[in-house]
A and B are shown apart, each in its own frame.
Chain A
Amino acid sequence: MRNLSKLMLTFAAGAAVGMAYAGSAAAQDKELLIGDQCDRTGATQIVGTVLCPAMQDYYKLVNSKGGINGWMIKGDEIDNGYKVPEAIEAYERQKQEGALLMTLYGTPQTVALNARLEQDKIPTTSPGFGISAAADGNRFPYLFPIAATYWSQAAGAVQFAKDQLGGSLKGKKIAYVYYDNPAGKEAMPILDALQKQEGYELRAFAVPPPGVELGAQIIDITQRYHPDFVIAHLFGRSPSVLIKGLKGAGYPLKKVIGLVWASAEADIQAAGGWSVAEGYNTLQFAGAGDDYPVRGEIKAMYKKDGKDPPKEMDDTVVYNRGLLQAAVQVEALTNALKISGGQKPTTEQIKQGMEQIHDFTLGGLVPPLHITATDHEGGGFVKVFGVKGGKFVQETDWIHPYRDVVENAVKTAE
């Protein structure tokens, strides 16, 4: 009993001291605090372990150039393990510390926190996940997708299929392979609407979670359905399983396009390497590859410190998405500082700053976003990169097809 009580006392003392040191993430003078939620563990760690360091690198780059007119940026990062209660606790804590802008992570978390964001009037970015209807700035004033939602991505995939199949989809067969959860089913309304417009035949193939077993679906697709094009909306480990499976069944990968979360280098490598995935088309909402000036600047920043560039930069697809998110946030803060006249901006001013982002391309990494008070998506631009000769090769320019169909869906969403 005595030894145990001594152990307990030392532990309690240590915890008390620790708590006294903790909470030092509060905003200080001339500092703009961004509340990041980013998962380096959990189901989506394959994305988070690259996206989160990318955002921190961009903040460091901006700070190394003197911040925004002298204001330093601090990104306070909390991991929510893809669970909603922890996301709420993280949000409350960052709000208490004075975060001006949030970075949410995960579709159920964004949906759950939307009401609180509206109440507290704090804007957040949610690129590539969240609610597709959040493109409507009137209905969701504090949610900013800032990148093509699943609806815009589906429209882009159909346009690419149409171009690849000779300009017309009439009578052609399209297979839609999706992860069987709400996020995976989200592209269906657009595909159904375009089916009526373009006259193709559509069949959906559900992949049950966790998505590592696709044998039945691949047999169904390749042996029975024989589609002319396959659109894949998978996350996590599934895309690599699909690529390997379709290649093994002999289906030409140049007739397959993956939406944004099926499109990273990690998926290609898990499928067996660039040679296995040759021809696979990927949809991106941020530029892929190394050929952008901002990546060179980050590498130079690391070299100045005498360190090698981090290995996360090799996963260019997800790393560049992190750069896009951080860059759009910094641009919004820059606009907000102009509105506030150099004073610390309020969250309302940051929202207005976000809605003034036009023609911000960051050397081609970011599409020509045009975010307004009514359009928080910025135009829904996507670009298709194909796997050719061991790397990503640009197949199209920034496109945003079928805007009328997508906008109609946004307007009529429940």
Chain B
Amino acid sequence: MFHREAGVFKTTYAADMALFPLPIARWAVAALAAVFVVVAPLAWGDYPISVVNLILIAIVGSLGLNILVGYTGQISIGAGAFMSVGAYTAANLIVHLNAPFWIALPAGGLMAALIGTLVGIPSLRIKGIYLAIATLAAQLIIEWTINHVQWISGGVQASIPVPRPSFFGFQLVSERQIYCFLMFFVVLAIVATLNLVRSRIGRAFIAIRDQDIAAEIIGINIFKYKLYSFAISSFFAGVTGVLESYYLGIANYEQFQIDVSIDYLAMVIIGGLGSVLGSVFGAIFVTLLPIATRWFLEGFGGVLFPGADLLNVIPNLRLVIFGGLIIFFLVVEPDGLNRLWRNIRNYFRAWPFSY
């Protein structure tokens, strides 16, 4: 009743290949664009925008990891290391060569893609949990390398200050300006991923995930496409690292350690493996959950615990609730938030009928 799928006629090839062929999809995307591109930067306060900025950075990273883990089926715990590679590459280019953002950003991504390809070479021989351990080793090796090689890390402190990007002489200083900057790259990343997964390369990835031996038999070069997957996913991760160092104003490998890799893996798994919308949901969920639990506890905690104890309880209970909600969501819907959304969508698609 809410929308018609029948009676939508396409008369050009372009219309047939469009990302959102149905009118309701177009309206929904237009409404989201209106809210996030027009209303948000003008109407929302600084604090909500700073939270959304953190979510935007997480979306790019989780899209990249979902390409590798969700679409190609290669488990990787090295996301944090590729981000730090991208961050330090861009930071060094900016500090030593005064590179503008349209050079530093792709350069960071390409360097991360190169390192990611090298890390992906073992994927020809090993699968599943063994590959996960190999990527974990890569995470630790890259961390150690950055810590100990002075010309990468820029000194004993291993922190390189990164000035905000400037656009024709106009530097992006406030939260809102950096929000528009990040939003542009997030939209680019989402459209790129949507197109990637319905292209020939994307179909090869899905074939490798589902039945890699059958895929090899029908002629897909497994090794080549696995390396492509690692390279593209690490490119996204490198771009995430560069965006994060632009946002924070500093590139430091301690921000990209193993716990960040696990966070991104959690985003992809909770959001839904193998879907773009799932990556977005996962990024929003994992970034927002600690903040939301703290708000909730500050509002309600006073009822249950006395004053001084409350301060001790809030951070610890936050961790407990965080883990508990992740377990809860995975028990309720193991296929992730994306499947939850699909169920709701399918219900309303047929409404008021049941099927």
Residues of A within 8 A of B (CB): 1, 4, 14-15, 17-25, 39-41, 49, 52-53, 56, 77-79, 81, 83-86, 88-89, 92-93, 95-96, 108, 111-112, 114-116, 119, 131, 180-182, 185-186, 188-189, 310, 414
Contact = CB atoms under 8 A, between A and B. Distances in A.
Contact of B50 (A53, A92, A119): A92
Given A111-B159, A182-B156, A22 B308 contact: no
Interface in B240-260: 244, 248-250, 252, 254-255, 259
24 contacts: A1-B343, A1-B347, A15-B292, A41-B316, A56-B308, A81-B290, A81-B315, A84-B252, A84-B254, A85-B244, A88-B54, A89-B51, A92-B51, A95-B47, A108-B252, A108-B254, A112-B255, A115-B249, A119-B173, A181-B254, A182-B158, A182-B254, A185-B156, A310-B308
For chain B, the bracket of interface size reads 35 or more
B34 interface: no
Most-contacted residue by chain A among B156, B244, B259, B319 (CB, 10 A): B156
A92 B298 contact: no
Interface string B270-299: 000000000000000001001110111011
Interface string B22-39: 000000000000000000
A81 B173 CA distance: 27
B157 A186 contact: yes
Given A4-B332, A21-B298, A41-B316, 20 more contacts: A15-B296, A19-B299, A22-B296, A23-B298, A25-B298, A41-B319, A53-B311, A77-B311, A79-B315, A83-B255, A85-B255, A88-B54, A95-B46, A96-B47, A108-B159, A111-B157, A112-B248, A114-B249, A181-B147, A188-B156
User: Chain A at the B interface: mostly helix, strand, loop or mixed?
Assistant: helix
Contacts of A56: 308, 311
Given A40-B316, A88-B54, A181-B254, A22 B298 contact: yes
B155 interface: yes
Contacts of B147: 180-182
A386 to B, nearest CB: 30
Top-4 shortest CB links A-B: A79-B315, A21-B299, A18-B299, A22-B299
A18 B300 contact: yes
A189 B156 contact: yes
A320 B175 CA distance: 38
Contacts of A185: 156
Nearest to B343: A1
B243 to A, nearest CB: 12
Contacts of B347: 1
Interface string B219-262: 00000000000000000000000001000111010110001000
Contacts of B287: 85
Contacts of A131: 157
Contacts of B46: 92, 95-96
Nearest to B158: A182
A24 B307 CA distance: 14
A386 B318 CA distance: 39
B163 to A, nearest CB: 9
A112 B298 CA distance: 26
B298 A40 contact: no
Contacts of B47: 92-93, 95-96
B211 interface: no
Contacts of B290: 81, 86
Contacts of B343: 1
Contacts of B255: 83-85, 108, 112
A1 B316 CA distance: 33
A116 B250 CA distance: 11
B299 A112 contact: no
Given A18-B299, A108-B255, A112-B249, A40 B315 contact: yes
Interface in B143-164: 147, 155-159, 161
A182 B157 contact: yes
B189 interface: no
Given A119-B173, A188-B156, A89 B295 contact: no
Given A19-B299, A40-B311, A111 B252 contact: yes
B100 interface: no
A84 B316 contact: no
A89 B291 contact: yes
A39 B315 contact: yes
A89 B311 contact: no
Contacts of A414: 155
Contacts of A180: 147
A14 B303 CA distance: 14
Contacts of B298: 21-25
A96 to B, nearest CB: 5
A88 B295 contact: no
A78 B294 contact: yes
A182 B332 CA distance: 43
Nearest to A21: B299
A19 B288 CA distance: 14
B323 to A, nearest CB: 12
Contacts of A114: 249
A49 B315 CA distance: 11
A89 B296 contact: no
B295 A53 contact: no
Contact of A22 (B173, B295, B316, B332): B295
A303 to B, nearest CB: 15
A79 B314 contact: yes
Contacts of B155: 414
B248 A88 contact: yes
Contact of B300 (A21, A112, A181): A21
Contacts of B324: none
B312 interface: yes
B295 A19 contact: yes
A4 B347 CA distance: 13
B45 interface: yes
Nearest to A94: B47
B156 A52 contact: no
A83 B315 CA distance: 13
